[in-house]
Structure 1
Amino acid sequence: MNLKEALKIADRIVFEKTGQHLDDLQAAVLRGTLEHETYKHIAKNFDCSESSVRKVGSELWQILSEELGEDVSKSNFRSAVERFQLSLFSKNFALQQDCVQISCCVNSYGEGRHPPDISNSHNEETSNTKPTKNSHQDLSEMPELGNFFDRTLELQTLTTWILQQNCRLITLTGISGIGKTSLAVQLVQQIKHEFEYAVWYTLDEFPTIDKFQSNLIQLFSQSEKPDSSPTNQKRLPLIKYLQKHRCLIVLDDIHNLFCSGELAGKYKPQYEEYRSLFKQIEKLSHQSCFLLIGWEPPKEVPQLTSENTPIRTLQLTGLDTAAAGEILRDKGLAEIDNCEALIHRYQGNPLWLKSVATLIQELGIGATELLIDDTILLPEDLKDVLHEQYDRTSELEKQVMSLLATENQPVNVAKLLQNGQISSSDLLNALQSLSRRCLIEKEASLYTLSPVLKQYIKTRRSHLTNIDSE
């Protein structure tokens, strides 16, 4: 379903409920939702307050929920409308087929002869037809793959964990722009046919645990008994469906469940019950897999896991030189000297490389000259991305990153404690949290920041100093 079709269906539903078509702001909210934009971004594009957008969104989800008979939210709007469209199509198709069969029977048997009872034969045929494996998918929120750069080893690892080792809970983490979602999309495309259900949810404006489980259970129950009324079906607990069916459930942007300004993985109060769900997914026996994607994992998911447990964590790092070189070739920078140095400086991060390569290309800067004096370019779009992730950290983590930004070489805990500003306990907790957020690098017992993050923190510190002096 394209954007125009979805808006047309939504307009029809709203008109039937209110007697009025979508106004400009309502259309903007739905359009932004379909394009995976945040309320803040929608408000900026429409030149209004974020609170106004949220209010309009809330009213729309209420109307759509009442009319569609299910809980509709920003996270499942597209899939809800697609289910509505599919139900209309199915009803129309069934009606057309019945008309065709009746017409054929009347023409074949002629006047005075009775055609066979096609309703019974149709039911028998239906009952003898087993659903094909993986006939149920809700991947409407899964992004398009686009250009995919080589991640053969990571794909093999995830495929082995899911299909061979039957892991129940996997987290895929990494700093912003590293390619987590692209890798997951490629993975789902390759293995989705191994599952009866494949579902993708993006946790932008995510519902409570009750709504989340209700959405999943509704998908299961409707596909199991498509001809029965949802209100008359006996719904089982979510874990029962995961035990009964082989399901792959992907949750993208899992970090939106967690608090900003706290150590990594602390749930927001309204999402605290997700902790129990993830524990249940890990501990209870079933044949399904949850794949969690985000900047940081839940606290209950360790970075280092044993092969004897059904839980795994893959922390994604940058592309290798060959794969990252494809990005530079796309930007017309493949022939520059010291191409490997540029890739290393930006750690093979696809988003970082695209950002700096675009700046170099658009301004006609000599990339080779930039590499002479270890210049770190920070285009505005890259600073925005870094700020979003940096702003989530606690004050304690910001202190530790400031200390690391002043060091030219990797340092150990003893060196970081020499400043006397942070206790050993707080320091260790901060280092663990920063490591889980993928914001620091660790080799043996030494810690450091990437050159890009060092430059960002120095630039930020200089900006704040200038503001204070004014």
Structure 2
Amino acid sequence: MNVNEVVTFVDKIVFEKTGKHLDDVQAAVVQGTWERRTYDDIAQEFNVTKNHVGDIGAELWQLLSQALNEDIKKTNFRSTLERIYIKSSPHSLNVYHIHGNNNNFYHPQTLNHPNKETQETNINTQPKSNNHDLTLAPQIINFHNRETELQTLFHWILNQNAHLISILGLSGIGKTTLIKRFIDLHQQKFDAIVWRSLKSPQSLDLLLDDLLKHHKLDSLPTINDKLKQLFDLLTNKKCLIILDDLQNIFIPHQFAGKYQPEYQDYQTLFKMIIETHHQSSFILISQEQCPEMECLDEELYPIKFLELSGLDSPEILNNTGLKNEDSWLTLINLYQGNLFYLKSISILINKNYDGQIADFLAENTLHITNQMQSHFQETFHNLSPQEQQIVLELSKFENPISREELRQSLNLSSVDFNNGLQSLQQRYLITKIKEDKILFKLSPVFQEYVRTCC
């Protein structure tokens, strides 16, 4: 029984008793107690007093004692849950069953008088794999160094019940792979999982038909009817729905995050996901932010976003055929740890340099392959005219520059300049650096493309 399963189990009990999920400090008390850490350690991590953590712990132990019919304290919390786990089995009549990754809490009054109906109900409430539609999800061959991100997703989705999560970053950075890995680890915790790609977008009406095709009981003529049935489903079941390549429903040649007219209804869906009470989660995978992800107070809205940067581990070049392992990290840093860039440049180095990275690096050139050029050409073409001007000007500077310096060299109104600068950050093509003053720079590989090809 690992710590994630413990936190999930306790969260379920607390939700059944109070109607609320564990908050961050409560989850930390459960995790810290399981790991045999002191209240003082937990308090320092969350910048609260030891007494506050102790009070939260006391409330949790009292609640768990009532729910589990056990005298639970900090000192016996781990041993008690381990004992419950060991005693549980598919044929036992114990009150609390913990089967692998699927934790189920049963009320004592039900299990004191077991019968066939109860056992059938138990079986029918298990997650059913035929409700997991992952035909459009990618297969993962390698997964590297995203353990922190996986833990974050687990906490958001399974502890905090975050309704809307965006996974954001440049193409090739590993967004889709991260989410598929999360699903592979935790798919039995969901009643239903659906993965859909918007690479070739469909209208919201057709998407709803698709999502409801296994559940729709009646003819639903309007989008509002379909939305109501979808949210009934999201409320009654723990569902996980993934929409990949979300950026394709936005208008090209304009600022980031503006919906194409035929996909404007998606905005209604996302707002409903945020504002409606349910127990499910949507994950949006995108190269640019949508307006619904912008929030000044996360406490008011159950939304989260995770911005991915490149990887910096030499092991990502394993099995590429490249030589000179002592130079692998240099190559990775040169191409920002972006797996798409690294795959493309690795093929070139194998073909032209017989895999000798040292020979390639000796030329001291940030080479842009044909595959990268095609990708960046589409990226640049989809920018608004204002963004293109900013990118072309910014590409002239070797070092990061301030907003004021950049503005002076452009013939743009203040509104167009600021909107363009914000939009490029939302596309992850420009990085903001906080030093004595705020500075901006282009993504280095994209900058090299702009310099040489635009």
Name which of 130, 135, 142 aligns with 2:124. Answer: 130
Amino acid at match of 1:327: I
Question: Corresponding residue for 2:414?
Answer: 424
Q: Deviations over 1:364-384 (max 9, x none)?
A: 264324434531111111212
Question: Corresponding residue for 1:105?
Answer: none
Question: Corresponding residue for 1:75?
Answer: none
* Aligned-residue offset at 1:237: 2.8
Contact 2:324/2:357 (<8 A) preserved: no
Question: Corresponding residue for 2:328?
Answer: 339
- Please give the alpha-carbon distance, in whole angstroms, between the structure 2 residues aligned to 1:244 and 1:172: 26
2:387 matched to 1:397? yes
Question: When the two structures are aligned, how many residues end up with a matched partner?
Answer: 329
Name which of 262, 277, 283 aligns with 1:285. Answer: 277
User: 1:338-357 maps to which residues of 2 (within 5 A)?
Assistant: 338-357=327-346
Instruction: Say if 1:129 and 1:154 are closer, same or farther in 2 by CA, change over 3 A.
Output: closer
Question: Corresponding residue for 1:170?
Answer: 165
2:249 matched to 1:257? yes
Q: Which runs of 5+ in 2 are unaligned?
A: 1-116
Contact 2:324/2:358 (<8 A) preserved: no
Q: Which moves more between the two structures, 152-161 or 299-308?
A: 299-308
* Aligned-residue offset at 1:453: 0.9
Q: Which moves more between the two structures, 332-341 or 375-384?
A: 332-341
Instruction: Say if 1:414 and 1:243 are closer, same or farther in 2 by CA, change over 3 A.
Output: same
Question: Corresponding residue for 1:451?
Answer: 444
Amino acid at match of 1:289: S
2:293 matched to 1:301? yes
Amino acid at match of 2:171: S
- Please give the alpha-carbon distance, in whole angstroms, between the structure 2 residues aligned to 1:454 and 1:204: 26
User: 1:29-40 maps to which residues of 2 (within 5 A)?
Assistant: none
- Please give the alpha-carbon distance, in whole angstroms, between the structure 2 residues aligned to 1:306 and 1:294: 20
- Please give the alpha-carbon distance, in whole angstroms, between the structure 2 residues aligned to 1:151 and 1:291: 17
Name which of 183, 186, 195 aligns with 2:181. Answer: 186
Amino acid at match of 1:313: F
Contact 2:390/2:410 (<8 A) preserved: no
Question: Corresponding residue for 1:27?
Answer: none
Q: Which moves more between the two structures, 428-437 or 336-345?
A: 336-345
Amino acid at match of 2:453: R
2:316 matched to 1:327? yes
Question: Corresponding residue for 2:134?
Answer: 139
Q: Deviations over 1:263-293 (max 9, x none)?
A: 1111111000100110010011111100000
- Please give the alpha-carbon distance, in whole angstroms, between the structure 1 residues aligned to 2:336 and 2:348: 17
Amino acid at match of 2:205: D
Contact 1:254/1:297 (<8 A) preserved: no
Question: Corresponding residue for 1:311?
Answer: 303
2:228 matched to 1:242? no
Q: Deviations over 1:188-239 (max 9, x none)?
A: 11122111111100112222111111222222336xxxxxxx6599975322
Q: Which moves more between the two structures, 369-378 or 198-207?
A: 369-378
Amino acid at match of 2:426: R
Q: Deviations over 1:306-342 (max 9, x none)?
A: 355310111111012x2xx223232232524443222
Amino acid at match of 1:279: K
Instruction: Say if 1:130 and 1:328 are closer, same or farther in 2 by CA, change over 3 A.
Output: closer
TM-score calculated relative to the size of structure 1: 0.65
Question: Corresponding residue for 1:49?
Answer: none
Contact 2:349/2:360 (<8 A) preserved: no
TM-score calculated relative to the size of structure 2: 0.68
Contact 2:140/2:180 (<8 A) preserved: yes
Instruction: Say if 1:238 and 1:340 are closer, same or farther in 2 by CA, change over 3 A.
Output: same
Contact 1:305/1:313 (<8 A) preserved: no
2:148 matched to 1:153? yes
Contact 1:376/1:451 (<8 A) preserved: no
Contact 2:168/2:289 (<8 A) preserved: yes
* Aligned-residue offset at 1:300: 2.2
Instruction: Say if 1:269 and 1:338 are closer, same or farther in 2 by CA, change over 3 A.
Output: same
2:428 matched to 1:435? no
2:352 matched to 1:363? yes
- Please give the alpha-carbon distance, in whole angstroms, between the structure 1 residues aligned to 2:407 and 2:382: 24
Amino acid at match of 2:333: H
Instruction: Say if 1:184 and 1:367 are closer, same or farther in 2 by CA, change over 3 A.
Output: same
Name which of 369, 377, 381 aligns with 1:379. Answer: 369
- Please give the alpha-carbon distance, in whole angstroms, between the structure 2 residues aligned to 1:373 and 1:204: 37
* Aligned-residue offset at 1:128: 9.1
* Aligned-residue offset at 1:153: 1.1
Question: Corresponding residue for 2:203?
Answer: 208
* Aligned-residue offset at 1:244: 1.6
Q: Deviations over 1:335-367 (max 9, x none)?
A: 244432221110100111111111011112643
* Aligned-residue offset at 1:450: 2.4
Question: Alignment partner of 1:312: what SS?
Answer: strand
User: 1:70-109 maps to which residues of 2 (within 5 A)?
Assistant: none
Amino acid at match of 2:431: E
Question: Corresponding residue for 1:269?
Answer: 261
Contact 1:173/1:314 (<8 A) preserved: yes
Q: Deviations over 1:81-135 (max 9, x none)?
A: xxxxxxxxxxxxxxxxxxxxxxxxxxxxxxxxxxxxxxxxxx9998896242244
Q: % of aligned pairs identical?
A: 36
